[in-house]
Amino acid sequence: MPIPRMLVRRLSVALLTLGLLGAPGALGGQTDPPDTLSPQLTAMAGTGLKLTECEKRMQTLGTMLGQAGYVSRHAHLGADAVMTALWCHPQRHTTVVAFSGWQASDNAFSAAEMAGQLGWNEFLPLP
């Protein structure tokens, strides 16, 4: 009776796979740390912004991250008029990166929290 044994084995493997894929953090999947800032960062995102609005959001973000224990690592205004800023949290091993348009009008702002300590060189374009 090899068919029932094969069926039980396949069913067991399928159930185990579904259980692992459904568990948070299983198989190296990322989960948000308990004190995640993702909801606040998402709320700050916007498009069609004026330069003053982007400056204010960048300043607010810097203050919020400083209070949460993040350290500013780098900020750069590129030739494409996009401000890129990077903050890291040494104990939680997370990084926040923000992108903001830096023109008089019609700018976009976004920020994201990522697991790990990302370096500035990881945002440089490759030739």
State pLDDT tens for residues 56-115: 999 999 999 999 999 998 888 888 899 989 999 989 889 999 999 999 999 999 999 988
Paired tokens of 66: 């400083």
Calpha distance 7→11 (Å, rounded) = 6
Q: Does domain 35-121 have CATH number 3.40.1840?
A: no
Question: Any idea which of 23-27, 40-44, 74-78 has the lowest mean pLDDT?
Answer: 23-27
Higher-confidence residue: 31 or 60? 60
* pLDDT > 90? residue 8: no
Domain boundaries, given as residue ranges, for the chain: 35-121
Cα–Cα distances in angstroms (integers) from residue 126 to residues 57, 77, 78, 86, 114, in the given order: 29, 18, 15, 19, 21
Select from 55, 47, 120 the least CA-distant residue to 87. Answer: 120
Confidence of residue 119 (pLDDT cuts 50, 70, 90): low
